[in-house]
Structure 1
Amino acid sequence: MIQLILGGARSGKSRLAEDTAKKSGLDVIYVATAQGLDEEMQVRVLHHKKQRPEYWTVIEEPILLADKLSEIDRENSLILVDCLTLWMSNLLLDEDQKLQQNECEKLLNILPALKSEIILVSNETGLGIVPIGEITRKFVDESGRLHQRLGQIADRVTFCVAGFPMILKGDKQ
């Protein structure tokens, strides 16, 4: 089972993903993609840490997500990745201009082969106007392309608004 949960900032997407993981009855492995490179991001990371159960395994992986998923994959587990848009930012800001495309392809190829249940959390970035600035436009474009491709392989796609989930694809839980 692959689930993709999308939404804007503070839409309730992470809370939904965490609640779903808690209710699964499976061993949960939480993969965090954030990097606490400034004080504000460190506060955000700390906030998320406080919300997670202490018994979850937490792994930080800002770049090589597909490799990490392959490494930690196992039966009777659920891997929650939060979030893909921070991961995309990390990839796009790397010096290697091919890294983003290569890592996204690796992720798309590995997901269907995993034994774990997967929950992917990401910010929906395509609801606003076309942004000013090359890197911002590239971020929105590449995130949107990734979401579309993930939506095709996901069993369930959910969009969160104001704390309310809307099922776009798949059965209601």
Structure 2
Amino acid sequence: MLIFISGAVRSGKSTFAESFVKNYATEAKYIATSIRIDDEMSDRIVHHQKQRAEGDIKWQTWEQPCNLTELTFHEDDVVLLDCLTILTANELFHDDEDALARIYKGVSHVKTQCKLLIVVSNEVFQEGIPEDEMTREYMYVLGKLHQQLVQDADEAYLVVHGIATKMKG
């Protein structure tokens, strides 16, 4: 089963995703894609770690900024991938050739191994088309991934101001 959750930066999508896991498990796996590149990112990582520690779910975390195909899960695992947006940037900076196919293959790899995969991603498409080529490529790849994953998803949600709206399923 695949659930896709998207929303703007700090919209509450990660909180919604983490609370959504409670419907399926008391123990879950967490794929963290962020890299500590500055103080703000470190603060966000610590915030998410504290948030998970305070909840009812026992989390096992993998820090995996690239190469999801390296991960192994069990058929009864509930897995939360947070977030596709950062994974996409990491993969593009790592090696932009065939990044779209590589990321989709990685997400599909995880999905086929576990009972439930929840993917969190940002909506970055509200501000129009950027002028620089690298940002346009990033948005193209992320947009295609969103379309493919929502098509594959059993359920899809859009989170705005902490309120989740079911878009599919």
Give 1:144 deviation, angstroms: 0.5
Question: What is the aligned residue count?
Answer: 166
Of the structure 1 ranges 52-61 and 117-126, higher mean CA displacement relative to structure 2 is found in 52-61
TM-score by length of 2: 0.90
1:145 CA drift (Å): 0.5
Q: Is the 8 A contact 1:91 1:100 kept in 2?
A: yes
Q: Please tell me the residue identity of whatever aligns with 1:92.
A: L
Amino acid at match of 2:87: W
Gaps of 5+ in 2: none
| 2:23 maps to 1:23 | yes
Quote the Cα distance in structure 2 between the aligned partners of 1:99 and 1:35: 22
Q: For 2:161, give the aligned amino acid.
A: A
Extract structure 1 runs of 4+ deviating beyond 3 A: none
Q: Which runs of 5 or more residues in structure 1 are unaligned?
A: none
Residue type matched to 1:38 in 2?
A: D
Contact conserved, 2:27 with 2:59, CA < 8 A, in 1?
Answer: yes
Give the fraction of aligned pairs with identical amino acids, expressed as a percent: 36
Trace 1:128-147 onto structure 2 (pairs within 5 A). Answer: 128-147=127-146
The 3 A distance-change label for structure 1 pair 130 and 26 is same
Specify the alignment match of 1:168 in structure 2: 167
Give the letter for the 1:48 counterpart.
H
CA distance in 2, matches of 1:110, 1:89: 19
Q: In structure 1, what is the Cα distance between the partners aligned to 2:111 and 2:51?
A: 29
For residues 109-165 of structure 1, what are the alpha-carbon distances to aligned partners after superposition, in whole Å with 9 as ceiling and x for unaligned? 425523321100000112221112111111111101000000110100000111111
- Who is 1:85 aligned against? 85
Matches of 1:126 and 1:134, distance apart in 2: 15
Give the 5 Å matches for 1:88-167: 88-94=88-94, 96-98=95-97, 100-107=99-106, 109-110=108-109, 113-167=112-166
- Indicate yes or no: 2:64 matched with 1:65: no
Q: Which residue of 2 aligns with 1:41?
A: 41
Please tell me the root mean square deviation across aligned C-alpha atoms, in Å.
1.7
Report SS of the residue matched to 1:20: helix
Shift of 1:75: 2.9
In the TM superposition, residue 22 of structure 1 has moved relative to its aligned partner by 2.7
